[in-house]
Every structure is written in C-alpha cells, then in structure tokens.
Amino acid sequence: MKKILVTGALGQIGTELVFFLRNLYGKNNVIATDIRYNETNIVTNSGPFAILDVTDGEKMLQIAKREKVDAIIHLAAMLSAVAEQKPLAAWHLNMNGLLNALEIARELGIQLFTPSSIGAFGSSTPKEQTPQVTIQRPGTMYGMNKVAGELLCDYYHTKYGVDTRGVRFPGLISFMAPPGGGTTDYAVDIYHAAIERGRYESFIAKGTYMDMMYMPDALQGVVQLMEANPEKLKHRNAYNIAAMSLEPEEIAEEIRKHIPAFVLDYKVDPMRQAIAESWPNSVDDSAAREEWGFSAEYNLEITTADMLEKLRGTKAKAR
C-alpha cells in the first residue's frame, strides 16, 4: 500500500490504525475521514483529514480521486448493541457505505479492506474453535450486515476482480479511543473503571466467554493481510483471527495482580448478553495462519499490564 483512504477513522479501530499506518507509510499517505471532526483526536492532528458520510458515494469518490489513493480501509459502521436499537439506520449505514466503497474500488481498480466480525456467527454456529467455513445464521442486524458484507466482497472479487480482503475481528481491547457500542465493550471499560474507581459493574454475565484481541495484534493483522501475496488468499474476505478467549472474571483476576482491591460486580444487560451468548467462545484461525502468517503476540497477562500502564499515563497527562 502506498496511499490509503480510511473511513470511520475516529472510531475505536480507526484512531489507532491511522496512527499506525502513518508511522509505516508516512503521514501524508494516509487520508483519514469520518462523519465528524474532533480536534483533540490524534487522527485529525497527525495528517490529512476530511469530513465524509460514507453513504455519500459521490463525496467518497471525489476524495479517493483527488488523493489518488490505491487502497481503501473501510471501517465506518454501526456496531452490534447500537445497531439493535436502530436496525434500519444500521442497514443504511453498514450496507450502503460498504457498497459505495466497493463501487469506488471497482471503478478505480484499487484495493479494499473491510472488517467482518465474530458477530457474523449465530447460535447455530459451533461455539468452540468455530471453523473458518461454517454455518452463519446471526440473529442481530449487525451480524446480518457482516454476513452480507462478506458475500458482497466475495462477489466483487469474483465478478469484477476487485482485490477485496477482510478479517472477522474478535472483541478489541484498546486504550486510545472509547468503544463505540459493541457487545465486547466491557473488556475495555473494565480497565478504565479499575484505574478510576477500583470497581466495575459488568453488563456481561460471569462465565460468558468471547474471543478478544489486544489492538496491536489487530493493527498488525490488517497490514499483514493487505500486504499478503494475493495468490495465497483462499478465504480473502472473512478470515477468522484469534488471540484470547475470555470471560469477565478472568480479566478481573488479572487486574487484581496490579490493583489487589479491584471489585467486579454484575448488572447484566439482557440484550447484549443475548448477543454474546450467540457468538463463539473461541475460533479456529488456522486459515489466517497458513495463508498469510497471522500470529497474535498478546495474551491476557501482557495485555492487562500494558493497558493499565498506558491508561495511567494517559490519565496522568489529562490532570
């Protein structure tokens, strides 16, 4: 990749990915876009930025042409919990935004990365070591959007030769930006609460396992896949990738190694709990490992130590 357009750049993934890409490829070669402007976000202060509503295909095309980009990383989306509250708005944003990005990639002959999610699976999917290719019958609007997105990317690759690529992200843990309404958000919130209050009230029930990943592994995975040899990519638009299968008590126990008095309480949100229970406990990422060399480096112990250190530093600067 030489010049990249990133949509949804002020979200949880985008905030860190744009910074990561600018360090790799140069700040002027990564054009960040989002529907809003945030003058305090590192994305808007470290390189080119433009306001973009991804449902406006003409505006997206104008920016892509003007900047002469050769890749789009399409992150703009409404996440699982919010999408359940606003299903029609979620369909409009998630599907029309992706179709616009695909059409631009087709017209300009450029590469496209868009993430799928473990939300693309449903209650009928095998829960343990979910296979790369398996039953996908999600019960949420977000999940349906992700399955449709995987299929659309397959279609544009097969019919038009667009170089589409993607991964099924697990829940992502990061410190730089707040989560955006996902079911796995508790795994980010719990660290903030540990630093600020010494206790946390989880909206996900004890014993509920979900796949999680620390953001540095996710960022490296995006770049690895985008730079991979296309001839080796058999499952190019929906690779399972994995790092940790966790439930709330395990995170709390690791936090107590650093903050011994930390208290974890529960106030389960029925909607998000139902979503979590329909998702895999763990996934098989052997296809990603074999086809483009993915390998996560961060386990829970390393993630927790780094998260707490980074959050303490961030909050100290804010005071």
Q: Where are the alpha helices (DSSP H) in 78-130?
A: 80-85, 87-91, 97-108
160 classed as catalytic: no
| Alpha carbon distance 231, 129 (integer Å) | 26
d(C-alpha 118, C-alpha 279), whole Å: 6
The residues, ordered by sequence, that sit 6+ positions from 3 with a Cβ below 8 Å of its Cβ are: 25, 29, 30, 31, 67, 68, 69, 70, 71
Residue 58 CA to residue 76 CA, distance in Å, equals 16
Q: Which one from 25, 37, 142, 209 is the annotated catalytic residue?
A: 142
Q: Which helix (H) or strand (E) holds 31?
A: strand 30-34
Angstrom distances, CA of residue 192 to CA of 187, 198, 208, 314: 10, 9, 20, 11
User: Distance (Å, rounded) from C-alpha 200 to C-alpha 249?
Assistant: 11
In 10 A of CB 316, how many CB atoms? 8
- Contact in structure between 233 and 291 (CB atoms under 8 Å): yes
- CB distance 100 to 55 below 8 Å: yes
215 and 243 in contact (C-beta within 8 Å)?
Answer: no
Instruction: Note whether 171 and 213 are within 8 A (CB).
Output: yes
Query: So which residues are the catalytic ones?
Result: 142
